[in-house]
Amino acid sequence: MARSPAWQKCLVLQPAIAAGYDRIVWLDADIVINKEAPAVTSAVPLDKIGAVDEFLYPTLESHQAFWRRMVAQTKDRSPAVARIWQSYLDPADYHGFWGLPRRGNHIVQTGLLVLSPRHHRELLDDVYYTYENKGGPELNYEMRPLSFEIQERHLQHWIDQRFNAVFNAILLRRMPKGGFRRRKSCFRLDPALAALQLFPAFCRSSRDVDGGKNGVVGSGLSRFGTAAAPDTRCSGRLMKLYWHPLKRPAAQVYRAK
């Protein structure tokens, strides 16, 4: 059965890729690394998987508010999608909606994983060969079964949330009541958000950085070769990236044997 290349992250610990390494850090391709960030591996025990708990990101209250808002905005025009968004409000529902046992107290965000080939290859192989793709991107490809299996084996070790900061959640917290009404408002977020993250959605770096969580870098716009936006106004393309974030996993780098 054909499925998203996102599943190929589960092959990253294969000997052809990971032989000779004690640690492998998986990063989705829409993460840009802040050069000031400390080592993401430093506080993660070798036998544990380092990750961010999406259920508590950036806080439990903010997480709940974001997904309730998503449900409210889609329930009339797309009830099926609204039911998917509803599952984000409870980790057990998040897994259960996918057809897994209704268990789990957390949502493991698999966009960044600190792994050990010796300790975690069996888990990733098991997820890759046991499960198949369900639905579209709304069901998160491999993330739901991988989140479930990590917790079933008690392998999770929570790391600083800033290592996997999600842009739209931060934007919602900072958004003025009633939304952005002036073009310059878009860029006023940049310096404030840059300080909040280690592997950031916003990064105070050159215009030509390729990628970044949902695309805004420094004073301009950079997303997979997108041209920089002028500093003094908010381009149409920038607004599309604000409201329709594009998530492209790094999994296409690795090819199944």
Q: Where are the domains of the chain?
A: 5-163, 166-243
Q: How far is the C-alpha of 218 from the C-alpha of 231, rounded, in Å?
A: 10
- pLDDT tens-digit profile of 166-186? 776 666 666 655 555 555 555
Q: Are 44 and 157 in contact (CB under 8 A)?
A: yes
- pLDDT tens-digit profile of 28-37? 887 878 777 8
Q: Which amino acid is at 211?
A: G
Q: Please tell me the predicted confidence (pLDDT) of residue 75.
A: 94
The answer to whether residue 242 scores a pLDDT higher than 70 is: no
The answer to whether residue 257 scores a pLDDT higher than 70 is: no
Answer whether 0.85 is exceeded by the pTM: no
Alpha helix segments (H runs only) across the chain: 15-18, 60-74, 79-86, 91-96, 117-130, 143-152, 167-174, 184-194, 236-243
Q: How far is the C-alpha of 103 from the C-alpha of 98, rounded, in Å?
A: 12
The answer to whether residue 110 scores a pLDDT higher than 80 is: yes
Six-digit token string for 239: 């607004």
Q: How far is the C-alpha of 111 from the C-alpha of 96, rounded, in Å?
A: 21
Q: Please tell me the predicted confidence (pLDDT) of residue 166.
A: 77
Q: Please tell me the predicted confidence (pLDDT) of residue 229.
A: 34
Q: Over the range 65-80, which residues count as b (16 or more CB within 10 Å of their CB) and which as e?
A: ebbeebbeebeeeeee
Q: How far is the C-alpha of 210 from the C-alpha of 212, rounded, in Å?
A: 7
- pLDDT tens-digit profile of 112-136? 999 999 999 999 999 999 999 998 8
